[in-house]
A = this chain, B = another copy of it.
Amino acid sequence: MERTPQTLERFLSGLSEGWLQSNEGEGTWNAHEVVEHFIEAEKHNWIPRVESILFEGDKHLFPAFDRFSHLKNISKRTVEEALQEFGSIRMKNLSKLKEFLQSTSYLEKTGLHPEFGIVKLRELLSAWVVHDFTHMAQIVRVMAERYRTDVGPWSAYLGILKRN
């Protein structure tokens, strides 16, 4: 999980606006917006929910998280600035997590998800990891979209261009 910001930094930092602003059509996110979503999730989703499980238990609902909050205030900063914030908040959150997880038995502790009901800490932490993967793959897919027609007949062999 400490690799995600570094990997994205290597992939995105310094790219032209053409790459950073291309998306998959109306209502879809570009690469910079995905990075802003990562930051919102670091601030308002993962650690607050870990704390809810550890300190409140499954009698209290998880704090709310708006998956679209980063779109309300599309920041005017560059993607490099966003990547830097993502890197620093991720490292901070991982240290917090290490502090919290003093015993592996904590992994079985439960919280109350507004939709799923009772969930375990270990499921939340796994979801955090796979959430990274989901949005890394999304960024790569968004980039590929830009070349959809340019590849000509090769689209048949380039799996990433198959629409879900």
Chain A residues packing against B (C-beta within 8 Å)? 3, 6-7, 9-11, 113, 116-117, 119-120, 122-124, 126-127, 129-131, 133-134, 136-138, 140-141, 143-144, 147, 150-154, 157-162, 164
* In-complex Cβ contact of A137 among B122, B124, B137 (8 A): B137
Q: Which residue of B lies closest to A133 (CB)?
A: B144
> Is B130 a contact of A161 with CB atoms below 8 Å?
yes
> Is B158 a contact of A134 with CB atoms below 8 Å?
yes
Interface majority SS (helix, strand, loop, mixed), chain A = helix
> Is A123 a contact of B137 with CB atoms below 8 Å?
no
- Of A120, A130, A137, most buried by chain B (CB within 10 Å of CB) is A130
What would be 16 A-B contacts, judged by CB atoms less than 8 Å apart?
A: A3-B11, A7-B11, A123-B151, A123-B153, A124-B154, A126-B151, A127-B151, A130-B144, A130-B154, A130-B158, A130-B161, A133-B143, A133-B144, A134-B158, A137-B144, A137-B160
Least CB distance from A135 to B in Å reads 9
Known: A11-B7, A153-B116, A164-B162. A133 touches B140 (CB 8 A): yes
Known: A10-B6, A140-B140. A134 touches B154 (CB 8 A): no
Least CB distance from A18 to B in Å reads 13
> Is B152 a contact of A126 with CB atoms below 8 Å?
yes
> Is B152 a contact of A120 with CB atoms below 8 Å?
yes
* In-complex Cβ contact of A133 among B117, B130, B160 (8 A): B160
- What separation, in Å, do the CA atoms of A150 and B154 have in the docked complex? 36
- What separation, in Å, do the CA atoms of A122 and B153 have in the docked complex? 12
